[in-house]
Amino acid sequence: MTEVNSENLVKYIMAYEGGNISSKAYLELMSYLVKTGQAWQLQGSLYGRPAQSLIEQGYLDKKGKILKKVI
């Protein structure tokens, strides 16, 4: 997958909700959703809480910047 943007966001969301997303793509998706504020507007159990957890674990900052890489 390429970098998450407004044109391919649905593709990423479908892969995530279908369980067919790599760790790297998942982190990039959550980063994009936090950057755009959408993480807090979508269903909390699928987006908001996992995004908050990534922030608390130090993978993302509060603005959505990726701080740690995943393998």
> What pLDDT score was predicted for residue 59?
97
| Percentage of residues of the chain with pLDDT beyond 70 | 99
Is there a contact between 24 and 42 (Cβ–Cβ < 8 Å)?
no
Cα distances (angstroms) measured from residue 13 to each of 49, 56, 60? 15, 22, 18
Average pLDDT, the chain: 95
Q: Mean pLDDT throughout 39-64?
A: 96
In whole angstroms, what is the distance from residue 48 CA to residue 37 CA?
10
Q: Mean pLDDT throughout 45-49?
A: 94
In whole angstroms, what is the distance from residue 36 CA to residue 14 CA?
18
Please state, as a whole number, how many other Cβ atoms lie within 10 Å of the Cβ of residue 69.
9
**Using 50, 70 and 90 to split pLDDT, how confident is the model at 1?**
low
Q: What is the pLDDT of residues 20-29, one digit of tens each?
A: 999 999 999 9
The structural domains of the chain, with segments of one domain joined by +, span 1-71
